[in-house]
Structure 1
Amino acid sequence: MTGAPDFTGRSALQIAAVLAAGTVDAVAVADATLKGIADCPDKAVFTATMLERARREAAASAVRHRDGRPLSLLDGVPVAWKDLFDLQGEVTRAGSLVLDDGAADADAALVTRLAEAGMVTVGKVNMTEFAYSGLGLNPHYGTPVNPWSRDEPRAPGGSSSGSAVAVALGLVPIAIGSDTGGSVRIPAAFNGVIGYKSSGGRWPLAGGFPLSRTLDTAGVLCRSVVDAVLVDAAARGLAAPDLRRGSLKGLRLIVPTNVIWDGIEPAVAQNFEAALARMVLAGAIVDRRVLPSLDAVLALSAKHGALAALEAYDLHKERLATEAPHRMDRRVVARLRAGAAIGAAAEATIRAARPQMIAELAPIFDGSTLIAFPTVPHVAPKIAALEADDDLFVATNLKTLRNTLIGNFLDWCGVSIPTGFDASGLPTALLLSGGPGRDDHLLATALAAEPVIRDATHQTDPR
């Protein structure tokens, strides 16, 4: 087959449909995707492309489709990987210059799962060094520019920065990220795409470079909730999803009235409230109330330190005692060293409090309830200002992470869905969260909620 159309900006489901129809094959899709990546003027989005692997996997997919035996609905669909997932034969750098332990002997478990579904790996995308920031800046490989920037370059969000920008630019329909404190949902919000974070243990993490072994989860950035559902099925080893579209009728949405709203920008709040009103018209019931557990999570961290900080320090403490910090992002080094101040007693308190807090909120998630609030309290900040002022960087990073990190500590699953734009044309987003292991209910409901939440009066493509 020749003459593949331009697949820029197509969703995974749209690409799957043309592959199933036989109008183009996976090789044509892969070649068009690789060409789009090569032609992209922002060279900080991808850190590596896998031409040989992509063409080999695409050729195998084309044969399967021709023979009428695709491995899944995603067979032949391109996927990009945050550069902390091992790809066989490639060095996993996690956004850093100091990781060079040689090429990976095998794919990460999640890479294997998606390969078994027939997805075609096209490359690795950029990220914050060691996944340790919610803003997405990287001094080593460059910072991918938020494609919605109009006045001056805006931050992509992190740590899955390249994953979000690659999807927002339409270079790939699917990019996989990790989420320890918001690293999928934040860049999704800043870039106007869908970001789904799985709850703990749903997706395999073996072969991924960790930040916090307790809080790390994986997720997907994509163009629709349907795409997230398809990827979730593949990540769990299923050929097709095992959940159906839910309904907004009778859905109870708990909207916290505390902490989430501190320092929120007017457009973020306005777009959230407008989306919420549309959901009410579709049958949802809004329950506004104080959730003391949210304040408790932040108070615990303020008093004793963050669980992610102590686990990140433990992972990197030997590296910090070498010359390596001189070749690392100074802001990441500072955050890592701060974890050393968290002593054994504080760690014990934090670890004992977490399951108690999770249990306290368990009754809320009764199968008909989700929690809703703005994903991030502000739109994407300007890169230049963050680069020029480390104090501003620290303050902005903490505010950026505040809403989402609560969900990581409480093991919530979450889907960030665009709600519209501010006056400068920058995306805003709403976060739907479900309890531990409630991913099926969350995703089923998000399928119904997405067209209601999205502001149809605004464009969905920054190009």
Structure 2
Amino acid sequence: MPITILELQAALESGSTTAVELTQRALERIQNEQGEGPACFIEVFAEQALEAARASDILRAAGLSRSLLEGLPMSVKNLFDVAGYPTLGGSIVLEDADPAMYHSVVVDRLLKAGAILLGSTNMTEFAFSGLGINPHYGTPSSVWQRDQARIPGGSSSGAGVAVADDMSVFSIGTDTGGSIRIPAAFNGVVGFKPTAERIPSDGTMPLSRSLDSSGPLAASVECCAIVDAVLSDQAYIPLLPSPLETLRFALPDAYVLEQMDDTVKEAFERSLALLLEHGAQIDTIAIPEFAQLPYINRQGGLVCAEAWALHRELIGSNESDYDPRVASRILRGKEMDCADYIDLLDTREAWIAAVEARLNGYDALLLPTVPIIAPRIADLQASDAAYFEANALILRNPSIINFLNGCALSIPCHADGQAPVGLMVAAPAYHDQHLLAIGAAIEQALYA
């Protein structure tokens, strides 16, 4: 696992390293042509990062550390506004767009907290896929079996690989249907999707206003909690793991457990057994609403409708410059009329109420983040059928929590030497702090 925020802060405080040294090492990894850095980053702000690191070291020497993120190199997905640069969204369509005049709220808060912005990370074009493949800027390989070049997960592809390969202490991604948790699962790091409304979206390129959220990928649950406090403009309260023997978990009896490959099944069942050994209660329950989602979203759902509303003019004049697999999904949205869209909003509200009623009395929901290990990039590039089949399966579980408007963690749960697998721990909206405390306890149990 990458080194944690608190470990790095201890090293900075002791003088065994400096912000400049951390930044230089990260930039060297990013710029190494033999590594994944060139495919991980679309923009690299090397000079600005080193200047910010020097300023951070001066402030620390004067006893003026601004937060637990002081002096730590980080990255943001290529859809957060960074003043002076065009916000591309992983596309070539916007290459001639005017540069952003201001930082997004997310970037502004991180910089004011003392974090060092290294650059913006690669992503699926306009954040519209769970695979992470990008035909314009290349596709970084996930950490598992690099010689086979497996997908990094998307849409925050560069974000996951950057943390796993120590190019970034933490990365900020967005999550509309799993786009933080999927790359976290495929790269063996922790990803946190907060309740969407907790993190301002000003200056963040949208995909689906109803489903988008922003959050961190990092080395641990505690790291995610530290970053989340900055993103939500809250004072950080040290994370205290919830005693597992006091927790009651819900395990869906179907749908989310279907089509698990052997590697995921083994890791998931091992994780449940460890939680039971530590005294947790796990009840298998029916949540039939989950299996209703394919029918509810049969016309493309909120994401296609809202993406079409955002892109209809741009795609009308530039469709040939889009990734055709992204364009085809956006174009589905124009088939939904206003009445269907309003019906879908009402259906979602009733669906959320029904699922929350079933989860009443439980501390969290447990499920595999993704039911399969990362497929090979070449296999999915070669076939539209393989691409869309994998995309649907990989998005299936995490997208449930977006439709629920909930919060969720993906925590690595695989054994050493095995392909990365994520355990998803989820809860309804505004249970974020409790969920982080639960996640910390699960993490301890899994890696004791």
- Corresponding position: 1:149 with 2:150: no
What's 2:356 paired with? 362
Q: For the residues of structure 2 that align with 1:332 and 1:269, how far apart are their CA atoms?
A: 30
Superposed counterparts of 1:97-246, under 5 Å? 97-99=92-94, 100-150=96-146, 152-241=148-237, 243-246=239-242
Q: For the residues of structure 2 that align with 1:70 and 1:151, how far apart are their CA atoms?
A: 42
- 1:391 is displaced (CA, Å) by 1.2
SS at the partner of 2:100? coil
SS at the partner of 1:318? helix
- 1:19 is displaced (CA, Å) by 1.3
What's 2:60 paired with? 65
Contact 1:134 1:159 in 2 (8 A): yes
Residue type of the partner of 1:434?
A
What's 2:16 paired with? 23
Superposed counterparts of 1:244-393, under 5 Å? 244-302=240-298, 304-322=299-317, 324-364=318-358, 369-393=363-387
**After TM superposition, what 4+ stretches of structure 1 lie above 6 angstroms from structure 2?**
none
What's 2:40 paired with? 45
Residue type of the partner of 2:282?
V
Superposed counterparts of 1:84-99, under 5 Å? 84-99=79-94
Q: For the residues of structure 2 that align with 1:393 and 1:210, how far apart are their CA atoms?
A: 23
Residue type of the partner of 2:76?
W
SS at the partner of 1:445? helix
TM-score w.r.t. length of structure 1:
0.93
SS at the partner of 2:214? strand
Q: Higher mean Cα deviation, 428-437 or 45-54?
A: 45-54
Equivalent residue in structure 2 for 1:79, among 74, 77, 80: 74
Which whole-Å deviations, capped at 9, do the CAs of 1:172-199 have from their partners, x for residues lacking one?
Answer: 1101100000000011111111111111
SS at the partner of 2:274? helix
Q: For the residues of structure 2 that align with 1:420 and 1:259, how far apart are their CA atoms?
A: 22
SS at the partner of 2:259? coil
SS at the partner of 1:216? coil
Q: Higher mean Cα deviation, 144-153 or 427-436?
A: 144-153
Q: Structure 2, unaligned stretches of length 5 or more? A: none
Residue type of the partner of 1:309?
C
Q: For the residues of structure 2 that align with 1:247 and 1:160, how far apart are their CA atoms?
A: 32
What's 1:461 paired with? none
What's 1:416 paired with? 410
Q: For the residues of structure 2 that align with 1:147 and 1:77, how far apart are their CA atoms?
A: 22
Equivalent residue in structure 2 for 1:446, among 433, 439, 443: 439
Q: For the residues of structure 2 that align with 1:363 and 1:60, how far apart are their CA atoms?
A: 51
SS at the partner of 2:246? coil
Contact 2:287 2:358 in 1 (8 A): no
- 1:296 is displaced (CA, Å) by 2.5
Contact 1:135 1:155 in 2 (8 A): yes
CA separation of 1:107 and 1:367: change in aligned 2, threshold 3 A = farther
C-alpha RMSD of matched pairs (Å): 1.7
What's 1:35 paired with? 28
- 1:244 is displaced (CA, Å) by 3.0
SS at the partner of 1:201? helix
SS at the partner of 2:197? coil
Q: Structure 1, unaligned stretches of length 5 or more? A: 1-7, 457-463
Which whole-Å deviations, capped at 9, do the CAs of 1:418-459 have from their partners, x for residues lacking one?
Answer: 111598x421111000110100010011111112235x7xxx
Q: For the residues of structure 1 that align with 2:69 and 2:363, how far apart are their CA atoms?
A: 30
- 1:246 is displaced (CA, Å) by 1.7
Contact 1:200 1:437 in 2 (8 A): no
Contact 2:43 2:121 in 1 (8 A): yes
What's 1:55 paired with? 50
SS at the partner of 2:330? helix
Contact 2:263 2:419 in 1 (8 A): no
CA separation of 1:242 and 1:367: change in aligned 2, threshold 3 A = farther
Which whole-Å deviations, capped at 9, do the CAs of 1:288-316 have from their partners, x for residues lacking one?
Answer: 011022122332112x4311110001110
What's 1:4 paired with? none
- 1:22 is displaced (CA, Å) by 2.6
Contact 2:92 2:321 in 1 (8 A): yes
- 1:147 is displaced (CA, Å) by 1.9
- 1:23 is displaced (CA, Å) by 2.6
Which whole-Å deviations, capped at 9, do the CAs of 1:117-139 have from their partners, x for residues lacking one?
Answer: 11110111100000000000000
Q: Higher mean Cα deviation, 51-60 or 116-125?
A: 51-60
- 1:150 is displaced (CA, Å) by 4.9
Residue type of the partner of 2:46?
L
Contact 1:85 1:207 in 2 (8 A): yes
Residue type of the partner of 1:39?
N
Tell me the matched-pair count: 445
Q: For the residues of structure 2 that align with 1:10 and 1:244, how far apart are their CA atoms?
A: 20
Contact 2:80 2:204 in 1 (8 A): yes
Q: For the residues of structure 2 that align with 1:131 and 1:254, how far apart are their CA atoms?
A: 30
What's 2:393 paired with? 399
What's 1:435 paired with? 428
